[in-house]
Every structure is written in structure tokens, then in C-alpha cells.
Structure 1
Amino acid sequence: MIKVLLLTGQSNQWHNWRVSSRALEKALQSNPLFEVETLVSPSAGEDFSDFSPVWGNFDAVVMDYEGDEWPETVKQGFVDYMAQGGGLVAFHASDNAFPDWPEFNEMIGVGGWGGRDEKSGPKVRWREGEMVLDPGPGEAMHPAPFEYTLDTRAPEHPVMRGLPSSWLHAIDEQYSQLRGPAKNLTVLATAIAGPEVEGGTGEHEPMLMAIEFGKGRIFHTTLGHVGANDEETTLAMRCAGFETTLSRGLEWAATGSVTQEIPADFPSGDTVSLR
């Protein structure tokens, strides 16, 4: 049994952590591999002096959090946990968190918003069959949500092994122009918003990533938007492709391998599959 801490409790004005974390909890608890404990942080502006997760009690942390800074002792404890072999899943809006925390930015590889700009590091691009680091200008953005195709870029990575070369994801935000240190980062899957999509960059943007931090492993998924006014699980989080890659990424982050089979309802290249 893989012991998982789902850490949540704050969102910015564009997200609803209550809905997204409820969906994450449901998806992970339905998988017999995982034993999930949920920790809700204090609300924005409240006292964090009693916020003290015992990181070492868990094989991996799933983070659905973007909000107040943690106490320095908590941050240092998390850095030590990850460096010594902990696991992390950075879910969607969590890559907007902690823009001024160098170790966290290294863990997630690239992030968005919060003042991240060229000084934060390069953008990650996929060009002519390989990852390219682009130091050029541009800050995080996304087109209006739409259905888009994910292309597998690391078919032999444990998270991606056996998945289709391309699959259609349900309507979702497509994070673009994320920036960061991009150290020890493997692009697992990309998506592109071409000229037919208003606000598209025309670049193959990284959607799924694997990062190593010391002995720790991080699975970074940009998928799964839940808007501030959403009261029910969104199509993005009901996508069988999202749930499958989430579970496989979590298992890999916790153990370094993936034992799960590809489910029969995994989406195809031209058909969305919802749960």
C-alpha cells in the first residue's frame, strides 16, 4: 500500500480547491494501490504555526495548493524529505505556488504566474523531436479551455509505457509558457494550440513532466482545471486520460516504477473518454 498525503486548502481567485481536491481524493481512493490522507491547510491569512505535516509518514505527496507561504521549518522539512527520496505530484495550479522558493521551483521544473518571468528560467519547448530550453520573453498564459491532443514524448518512461502515441483530452486549460530551472526534467507529453486557437502559442507545450530532485521524484501534471465557480467535478478531471496518468505518475513518484495496466477506457486519438 502506497501512503499518500493529499495537501490542499488554498487556491487563488481562479480555482476552487474544494472541488478539485474532492475529485483527486475520489480518484485516488478508488485505486487499491493508494491509502490517502487529506490535510487541509489554514485559510489565507490564518496562523500557520500549527501546520506541521510529518512528511516522512508518506511515500508521496499530491499537492493541490497555491497560497500562503509555509513556515521555514516546514519548507526545509519538505526539501529534506524530497532530497532523501520522497515523491511529489504537482497538480495543475500548484505549479503557480511559491514563486520565490528556489527548491520548490526546481522540484516542479517549470511554473507559472506569481511574477515568474525570464529571470525565473527558460520555457520548455519540444522542437524537432527533442526538448529545447527557450530563454526568450513570455510569461505564463493559456487559451480559453478546449479539447486538445496530448502527444507522448517519452514512450519508455514508466509513466507513459504502453500509452497511445496521441490521445484526446477533455476540455481543459492548456498551460503555456511556463518557466523555471528545468533541471533534471523529462518531458512526458506535450500539446499544441495552433493558429486556429485564439491565444495559442503554436508551440508544443509540456503538459506532463517527470523531474528528479536529489533522490526524490516528481510527476508534474498541468491538467485538471477547476474554475472558481465550478461546483462539480469538471470534464478535465473526469477524463480517463487524466485519471490514468495521475495514478501512474503517483505510483512512479512514490516507488520509481509503475505496475498498473492501461485501462480499457483510455482515450483514443480522436475520442474523449469520461468517467
Structure 2
Amino acid sequence: MKRMLSAVAPIAMLLQPAAGTAQVIVHPDYRPPETVQRVAIPVDPAEKRIKVLIISGQNSYEHDWTGVNNLLRTLMQDSGRFDVRVTEDFDHGDLATLKAYDVVLLNYSSRWVYNDPAEHRWSPAAEKALFDYVREGGGLVAYHSSFTFGYNWPEYRRLVGAVMEPGSSRRSPPGAFPVHIVDRTHPITQGLREYVWTYNDDMYTNMSVDPAARIHVLATARDSAASYDPKLTGPKYPPAAYTPEKLKAMKGMDADHPQVWTADYGKGRVFSMTLGHDEVSLHFQPLQTLLLRGAEWAATGKVTLPVLEEAKDYPVK
């Protein structure tokens, strides 16, 4: 945990905010499509599984957090390793509640649109409880949209390692892209192939990293200027904002950006995964593998769950 991946130093520089790299944020009239999913059934307490609490209940307009929570719970419980609860009201959470769990998964964003000035945060006591829980040894999984808030909250940025910051961070246009597993020796990623794909997903780039966070990058994705071609992008990327000259001036263009990493916070282990936009992306085994093994590692420091078939390494010669 204390050693840093050799590529982290230059990558960390890409994560810093910079002037002149703003992405135009368009607010279309949109709601996530309604889905029907199987509800996870209770687990026999005699199985002594890892206890997980998903904290949710508020998110941006593009994220179906209720559907994702349901699929996360089903996926984790079906693995045979986890017993999962979901709360959509953590406003007055406390440390005693959190300590009943081995790991907390954050699927939460405080804003309806991530650059809104108004936000819904938990009470100061609940926020302190979360920080104390991890600092004292609790596990944390920071999941996807949980990086789209906290840019005005330094301690949260320190907790999860890095956040999206309006005006300097970008969401790259491709909805499907390869993910490069840059460290395949870590317990979470050992046995995965070097490149996996994600679908119907968000590539977060130019994230703002907390300088005190000791981040160990496990996976990256490449933000390519060619992806901003108006023929490929759609209305969220107005052509006038992404001319060749403007693209050339944008920091971190044609560069690799962290998507999955680990960090420590006090005595706690933190697994951060920016991937997993919705229930569609979670149907693919590479993301399932990362999520399940990352949660197990955050809770216990070890990984026993297998790499799922579609994520496995295989000979290329």
C-alpha cells in the first residue's frame, strides 16, 4: 500500500486542475430508463459473510441509483461472499451503525447535476462518522458517481483520493472503451488480462487528486482527441467547444487517466472505481470482477473471489 506505482507521479500531475480545460456541461431533459430487476433475498446469518452497507439516496440525474443499488446487492450476494444492506438516508448516520459492517460502498452524489451550486450533504455528525469509521480500520468502496461531488469538501477528496472538478475535469465522449490494467500483481487485479472493456460507461479524466492521498493506480483509460470528433460525440459536446485548437490546449488530452485505484485512510483500506455508470455496464464480467474483488480487499485485505471467465488472462503468443 505504501509503495507507489511508478506511473503514478506523472498521472497524478494529470489529475490536478488547470485553467483553460473546461468542458461545457449541457443539461438535457433526461431521466434514466426504468428497469425491472430481481430483488436480492436475505442471507442466512450462519453463513458469516462480509457485511456491506451501501450508502445511497441522492445522485445526479443521469444515474439510476436505485437500479444500480439493486444490481450491486444482487451481484454481491450471489457471489456467496457478501451480505448487503442499502440505506437511502444517511443524513443522521452514526459510527455505531457503520461499525456493524465490514465495508461501506458509496453510491452517492450530493447534486442533481454535478456543477449545481446547491447540494444535499449529510449532517456534520454523519460525515464525521464515515471518516472515523474508515480511519479506525473500516473498508470503503468509492463507486462511480461518488467522484462527482466533494470538490468543495477537502476531507472527502482525501478519503476517496480524487474527484471530478467542474471547469477542469472532463467526461470523455466514448461510452465504450478499453480499460488498461496497469498493475496485475495487486491482489484485486491478479489474474485479469491486461485490457478489459467497459460499456455504456463514463471515462473520467483530469480528476483532481488530493496531494496527501497515497494512490496506487490499478487501471487507466486513454482520453483521445480523436474521440471528440463531432461525427462521433453527440449534443453533449458542442463542436465549437472542441475545435482542434481547443483540444490541443486541453490538459491531459491523448493521455492515460486513472479509473481504478487503491489508497489508505488512517487504518482503513479504500478501493476507488470510477467505472460502472449503470446496470448495463455492471452486466459485464470485467467490471463485476473488479467490483467484487475490490470490495473483498477493502473489507479484509485479502482476495479469495475468482476472476470471472470473461476477465481472465489468457496467452497471446
Superposed, 1:21-100 pairs within 5 Å as 21-41=69-89, 48=91, 50-52=92-94, 54-67=97-110, 68-100=120-152
Map of 2:289 onto structure 1: 244
CA contact 1:167–1:268 (8 Å) conserved in 2: no
Alignment-mate amino acid for residue 197 of structure 1: S
Larger radius of gyration: 2
Map of 1:148 onto structure 2: 177
Alignment-mate amino acid for residue 173 of structure 1: D
CA contact 1:7–1:65 (8 Å) conserved in 2: yes
Deviates more, 1:190-199 or 1:26-35: 190-199
Alignment-mate amino acid for residue 288 of structure 2: E
What's the CA shift string for 1:98-149, capped at 9, x where partnerless?
3333222111111013x5xxxxxxxxxxxxxxxxxxxxxx612112343211
Pairwise CA distance, 1:267 = 6.7
Alignment-mate amino acid for residue 85 of structure 1: G
Q: CA RMSD in A?
A: 2.0
Q: 2: distance between equivalents of 1:109 and 1:70?
A: 19
What's the CA shift string for 1:194-216, capped at 9, x where partnerless?
23211783110111110111111
Pairwise CA distance, 1:245 = 0.2
Match 2:225 to one of 195, 202, 223: 195
Q: 2: distance between equivalents of 1:250 and 1:202?
A: 31
Superposed, 1:1-275 pairs within 5 Å as 1-41=49-89, 48=91, 50-52=92-94, 54-67=97-110, 68-113=120-165, 115=166, 139-182=168-211, 183-198=213-228, 201-226=253-278, 233-234=279-280, 236-266=281-311
TM-score by length of 1: 0.79
SS of equivalent to 1:219: strand
Pairwise CA distance, 1:170 = 2.2
Q: 1: distance between equivalents of 2:93 and 2:134?
A: 18
Alignment-mate amino acid for residue 175 of structure 2: F
What's the CA shift string for 1:32-81, capped at 9, x where partnerless?
11010111127xxxxx4x54461101100011011211111111111111
CA contact 2:174–2:227 (8 Å) conserved in 1: no
Q: 1: distance between equivalents of 2:292 and 2:174?
A: 23
CA contact 2:175–2:199 (8 Å) conserved in 1: yes
Q: 2: distance between equivalents of 1:99 and 1:195?
A: 25
TM-score by length of 2: 0.69
| Gap regions ≥5 residues in structure 1 | 43-47, 116-137, 227-232, 270-275
| Gap regions ≥5 residues in structure 2 | 1-48, 111-119, 229-241, 248-252
Poorly superposed stretches of 4+, deviation over 6 Å? none
